[in-house]
Amino acid sequence: MTKLLGLLLLLAASTNIYAAENLYEKNYKAQNLGNLVSIQANPDTKMFVSNHKDEDNISMLEDGYDLMGSSGFEATNVAPELALQHAKSIKADTVLVYRKYGSAKTKASKLQLIKEAAKKGGGEVDAKDLVEEPTQYKYYASYWAKLPTPLLGVHIIKLASRDSETEQVIENKGLKVLAVVKDSPAAKAGLTRGDVLLKIKDVELGKPEELSSVVRQFQGQNVAIEYEREGTKNIAEAHINSRN
């Protein structure tokens, strides 16, 4: 009796530990190497539940946020408030939470097992196959921090292609714009998502760090930006913001 009581207490303790575990925190992976956090000392973290991840990512970038990191895992019922709890602990301004159905053994599938066993001449059905399994969901959360007023206001990526004959990776010219921050110098200059930035003044843009460097160099000044849109080269005039 004493051994049984001890085992029950151990199981109860294990259950409590598991229940207290925050899976959003456990599965969190930082995306930004610069230890990005809110510019507010004590941010009023907001949570939104959605199901349009790709569109949301672009919208957040356009609204002046940057991605801090994300959490992804499969589990049964997990409260979205746990994502908010973790978001507050890492000083995020916003957390976006997603949930979609994973897998579950339904009653219909169990009935099919019985029918198949009957067709085989009364074969037995394993009792384990008839146990009700909880529905599994796929969870994902992204954590965002509001950035200071941008100098230019573009999120870019370096594009590359692979030679079909040599299999060598070839870097393409310029930097492709993934998103333009609303009301930024880039937006006011008419730059849009999908443009390829080629030059700022006479400085050619081949790497993301080159863009950062030239923007800092010319902050507070008017600059000409050469870019390509749908195969056509254009020139935009932008006034780069300055930052103390």
Q: How many other β-carbons are positioned within 10 Å of the β-carbon of residue 221?
A: 11
pLDDT score recorded for residue 173: 84
The residues near 162 (Cβ < 8 Å, ≥ 6 apart) are 168, 169, 170
Tally Cβ neighbours within 10 Å of residue 239.
15
Q: How far apart are CA 219 and CA 149, in angstroms?
A: 12
What rounded mean pLDDT belongs to the chain?
Answer: 84
Q: Which two tokens stand for residue 153?
A: 């206001």
What is the torsional sign of CA 187, 191, 193, 196? negative
Q: Are strands 94-101 and 65-75 parallel, antiparallel or unpaired?
A: unpaired
Provide CB contacts within 8 A for 17, sequence distance 6+.
Answer: none
pLDDT-derived band at 35, boundaries 50, 70, 90: confident
- pLDDT tens-place string over residues 83-92: 999 999 999 9
Quick one: pLDDT band at residue 170, thresholds 50, 70, 90? Answer: low
Tens-digit pLDDT profile for residues 180-226: 999 999 999 999 999 999 999 999 999 999 999 999 999 999 999 99
Residue 138 scores a pLDDT above 70: yes
Cα 238 to Cα 133, 152, 220, 235: the distances in Å are 59, 8, 10, 10
Residue 241 burial (CB < 10 Å; 0-12/13-18/19+)? middle
Q: In the chain, what are the domains?
A: 21-147 (no CATH), 154-239 (2.30.42.10)
Give the pLDDT band of residue 114 (cuts 50, 70, 90): low
Q: Is the pLDDT score of 137 beyond 60?
A: yes
pLDDT of residue 123: 56
